[in-house]
Amino acid sequence: MTTRPMTTRPMTTRPAPVVVFDLDGTLIDTAPDLIATLNVILAREGLASLPYAQGRNLIGGGARKLIERGLAAEGRLAGAEEVSRMVTDFIDHYAEHIAEQSRPFEGLIEALDELARGGLVFAVCTNKLEWLSRRLLEQLGLTQRFSAICGADTFGVIKPDPAGLIQTITRAGGTLAGAVMVGDSAADVNVARAAGVPVIGVSFGYTETPIADLAPDHIIDHMRELPEAVHALLARPVPAA
């Protein structure tokens, strides 16, 4: 009797689920250092400082957008070259003061630990410049937690262009079908929608439009709620194409 050699099928490894975070207003409360820097720039232009509560909701589109919004709030018009000069000054000052007052939102570390124990990996997709994002996370001791850290200059696009989010997920080793976006603004909700990725909105971030009005798939009011929200969205059936 002849026996056939046993054949073994190659094992396929499923990519780990990826949680992609916005940075400012989602992972880190960066408003104190950003608004302080904005007010330094406004003062150099002979303009009054913006109140913290007002400036907080202007954050989210990168340094240029923040300066443009800050100037508009003071009733000041500026040409492209003038704004570019202010952006350079802003970045120079901000880079030196990037983590003086900025801190992770309460409960973030515990939430990341819990998700990591479940085999999930993390990435950052932000409209902040990549090197500034890395500097901030490094100074806060968080860099090693993220498989990918991608900013406005990483792929040459900014949110809500979905190309940046899609490439961030790929760089982190994940797939669109196994990813969740977490953010605080319209740019985050819209980029997730455009990429076909479910999105969690945080209610404690920086946005002039209430997060509920942006209709993310889930809203959390504290980072302690993040693991449950992530697992709930990852468990949803993937819609048929």
Side-chain-facing half-sphere of 68: CA atoms under 13 Å: 10
Map residue 217 onto helix, strand or coil: coil
- Residue 232: count other Cβ atoms within 10 Å of its Cβ: 14
Quote helix, strand, coil % in the chain, to nearest 5: 45, 10, 45
Task: Check 22, 24, 184, 217 and give the catalytic one.
Answer: 22
3-state secondary structure of 152: coil
What does the alpha-carbon distance between residue 162 and residue 23 come to, in Å, rounded to a whole number? 17
Q: How far is CA 40 from CA 29, 34, 53, 85, in A?
A: 19, 10, 16, 14
170 Cβ neighbours under 8 A, 6+ residues apart: none
CA distance 197 to 234: 10
- Residue 188 annotated as catalytic: no
Spatial CA neighbour of 29 closest among 217, 205, 240: 205
Q: Taking phi first (over 0 means left), then psi (-120 to 50 degrees means alpha), and beta for anything else, what does residue 101 get?
A: alpha
Looking at the annotation, which residues are catalytic? 22
